[in-house]
């Protein structure tokens, strides 16, 4: 039992320490994802050590101390996404439907052919905006029925798992499909008009993940996210960024994105809303995100039923309440973090001015 505990402790230490190096290799950055699972395993290991190991042995206390430190460190990252944490975004108090904006963010899985399930979700939840990820020409053809009630759209069908479509009940302008970092990875940017007449910058993103089958490093993903963050930080206009970020809510990159952009995360204090992987319940994490400026409060955020994809869809209802801006504050960046953000953009030769505003 001592040998098993020692091996388990070493694995937990390695998975905890690796991300501290900030090495962009996919194996290192991949350790950001299972922080919740590592926290649970570390907690269980502490119980096992206490029950089955000899508490008179110094090695036992060394193992338990190391495991406790790892447990506390991992817990620090995930705790904000539990119900015991204070809300970062206020719960909406306004009831005026004209001030509401609802969005479904759906990674459909390109090979999935259950388009009827997604159409049913749209009919049931009646979102103002639907953004689909991994949609190709087949999906575009199937979703054409939505254009009767969602007549405004931007379409970018691709066969490389990075196609993207936006359907809207609300009018928008200045729409643009951009390839900020990689020539085959699009993002969509537009200026949405709310029912109140106010306008909102909306950025839809789906950067490639660090993985052995795609980008071996996280540099491309990080550069796209942080460059968008640097861009929106310079506007006082309402802003929303949503999509499959291929990164978890509690990673160092996502935290840097929030610090640089000044955008808020409505999940803080409300839950993790793990959207991936549908078929592996014990290995799920939040990959699909929605961040917004302090002009909004949140009425609802929920994970929707499966549509046959490897992702659950995310449904968010925001309320335009600019008077609450002074009462809501997210994370802030220090000088070193600002410099790090600039370096990440320069490393991939992308400028914040490349982001449509």
Nearest to 132 by CA among 224, 249, 243: 243
Nearest to 254 by CA among 78, 132, 131: 78
What is the distance, to the nearest Å, from the Cα of residue 232 to the centroid of all Cα atoms in its chain? 17
Residue-level pLDDT at 357:
83
Q: Spell out the domain ranges in the chain.
A: 2-81, 97-354
Q: What is the pTM of this model?
A: 0.95
- Inter-residue contact 356 to 178 (CB < 8 Å): yes
- Inter-residue contact 231 to 269 (CB < 8 Å): no
Three-state secondary structure call for residue 102:
strand
Question: Angle formed by the axes of helices 58-78 and 35-52, to 10°?
Answer: 150
Nearest to 341 by CA among 187, 179, 237, 226: 226
Residue-level pLDDT at 83:
96
Residue-level pLDDT at 296:
97
How many Cα atoms within 13 Å fall on the side-chain side of residue 355? 25
Residue-level pLDDT at 324:
87
Residue-level pLDDT at 22:
87
Assigned token pair, 2: 């001592």
Three-state secondary structure call for residue 233:
coil
CATH topology of domain 97-354: Deoxyribonuclease I; Chain A (3.60.10)
Quick one: three-class SS letters along 53-75? CCCCCHHHHHHHHHHHHHHHHHH
pLDDT tens digits for the chain (357 residues)? Answer: 899 999 999 999 999 999 999 899 999 999 999 999 999 999 999 999 999 999 999 999 999 999 999 999 999 999 999 999 999 999 998 779 999 999 999 999 999 999 999 999 999 999 999 999 999 999 999 999 999 999 999 999 999 999 999 999 999 999 999 999 999 999 999 999 999 999 999 999 999 999 998 899 999 999 999 999 999 999 999 999 999 999 999 999 999 999 999 999 999 999 999 999 999 999 999 999 999 999 999 999 999 999 999 999 999 999 999 998 888 989 999 999 999 999 999 999 999 999 998
| Residue whose tokens read 């090495």 | 23
Query: Quick one: which H or E segment has residue 107?
Result: strand 100-107
């Amino acid at each position: 039992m001592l040998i098993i505990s020692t091996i388990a402790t070493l694995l937990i230490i390695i998975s905890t320490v690796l991300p501290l190096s900030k090495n962009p290799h996919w194996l290192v950055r991949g350790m950001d994802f299972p922080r919740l699972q590592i926290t649970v395993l570390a907690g269980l290991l502490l119980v096992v050590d206490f029950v089955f190991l000899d508490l008179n042995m110094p090695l036992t206390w060394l193992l338990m101390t190391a495991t406790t430190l790892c447990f506390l460190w991992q817990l620090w990252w995930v705790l904000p996404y539990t119900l015991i944490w204070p809300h970062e975004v206020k719960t909406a108090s306004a009831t005026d439907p004209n001030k509401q904006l609802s969005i479904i963010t759906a990674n459909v899985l390109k090979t999935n052919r259950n388009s009827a399930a997604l159409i049913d979700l749209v009919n049931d939840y009646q979102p103002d905006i639907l953004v689909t990820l991994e949609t190709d020409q087949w999906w575009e053809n199937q979703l054409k029925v939505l254009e009767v009630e969602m007549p405004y759209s931007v379409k970018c069908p691709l066969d490389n798992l990075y196609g993207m479509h936006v359907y809207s009940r609300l009018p928008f302008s200045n729409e643009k499909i951009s390839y900020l970092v990689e020539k085959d990875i699009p993002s969509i940017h537009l200026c949405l008009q709310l029912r109140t007449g106010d306008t909102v910058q909306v950025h839809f993103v789906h950067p490639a993940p660090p993985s052995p089958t795609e980008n071996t490093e996280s540099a491309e993903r990080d550069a796209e996210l942080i460059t968008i963050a640097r861009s929106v930080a310079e506007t006082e206009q309402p802003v929303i960024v949503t999509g499959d970020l291929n990164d978890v809510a509690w990673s160092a990159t996502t935290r840097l994105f929030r610090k640089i952009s000044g955008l808020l995360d409505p999940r803080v204090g409300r839950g993790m809303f793990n959207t991936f992987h549908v078929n592996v319940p014990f290995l799920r994490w939040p990959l699909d995100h929605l961040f917004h400026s302090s002009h909004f409060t949140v009425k609802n955020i929920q994970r929707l039923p499966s549509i046959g994809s490897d992702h659950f869809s995310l449904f968010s209802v925001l309320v335009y309440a600019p008077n609450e801006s002074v009462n809501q504050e997210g994370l802030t960046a220090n000088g070193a973090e600002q410099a790090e953000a600039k370096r990440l953009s320069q490393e991939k030769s992308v400028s914040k001015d490349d982001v449509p505003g």
